[in-house]
Amino acid sequence: MTDASATVLDVALCSTGKRRQIRPKAERRQQLIDATIRCIAQHGLSAVTMQMVTREAGLSVGIANLHFQSKENLLRETLRYVAEEYHNGQIKIMEGADITDLGDRLDALLDFQLGRGVTQRQKMSVWFAYYGEAGARPVYQKIVSTVDRLAALKLEALFASIIREGDYQDVDPRELATGYSALIDGLHLGLLVTPRELTKRRARSVARDFLRRAFPKHIY
C-alpha cells in the first residue's frame, strides 16, 4: 500500500491536500480571472494584489505572471471578460430568433439586465470599479466603449422595430436607447451603493415603468 506515503506528500505539498496540478493554459487563465473578480468585489480594485489573487485561486504567485505577464494585463483581461459577458448576454437576447413577440423580447432583456446573473454584487462591483478608473485610463475606456457600442446599436434597432409596430409618435429610438441604457446603469449603481434603499424588485419596477411610458401597447 502506498496510501501512507501519498498522504504525507499531500499534506506536505498544500494545506488543502491538493497536489500540484498541470492544467491547460486557457483553464488557468479563467481560474485567475475568476479569482480576480472575487478579489475586486471583496476588497476593491485598488486593494487587489497579485498575492491575493493567486491565493484566492489556490495557486502560487509566479503563475499569474506566467499566464498574464503582468498585473496590468490580468486586470485588463478581467475587465474585458466581464464586459463581454454582459454585452454578449444582451446581444443574444436582442438577436435571438427564439422570441418573436417584441414585448416579450423587452421583458427578456429587462430580466437579464436586472436579474440574478448580472446583479450579483460581485459582477456589479467589478463593473463599477473599472468605470471608476476609466476616467484616468484610456485602455479601460476603450474596452468598455467598444463593446458598449454594438449593444447600443442593437438596442436602438429593437426600439425602432417596436416604434414601427406600435406606431408610436414622437419617440426617437436613439434618444430612448440612450436613456434606457443610462437608467439601467444608474439602477445597477443604486443596487451596489445603496442596497438598503433600492431593492432588485423596485429596480425592475422602475425600469419597467420607463418602458411602459414609452411603449404602452407593448408593456403590460
> Which residues would be at the binding site for its own copies (CB under 8 A)?
40-47, 121, 124-125, 128-137, 141, 144-145, 148-149, 152, 175-176, 178-179, 181-187, 189-190, 192-194, 196-198, 202-203, 205-207, 209-210, 213-214
Place of cell 485598488: 46
User: Rounded to an integer, what distance in angstroms lies between the CA atom of residue 218 and that of residue 211?
Assistant: 9
User: 18-47 mask for DNA (x: CB under 7 A)?
Assistant: -xxxxx-x--x-------------------
Kindly indicate which of the ranges 70-78, 96-104, 136-144, 202-210 contains the residues binding DNA, using the contact rule CB under 7 A: 70-78
- The residue among 30 and 141 lying less far from its own copies, judged by its C-beta, is 141
Contact (CB, 8 A) for 124 and 185 = no
Asked whether 205 and 191 are in contact (CB, 8 A), the reply is no
Among all chains, which residue has been given the C-alpha cell 414609452? 214
State the helix-helix crossing angle for 25-43 and 50-57, rounded to 10 degrees: 120
- Nearest residue (CB) to DNA, 49 versus 146: 49
Q: How far apart are CA 85 and CA 74, in angstroms?
A: 16
Q: Which residues bind DNA (CB under 7 A)?
A: 13-14, 19-23, 25, 28, 48-51, 59-67, 69-72
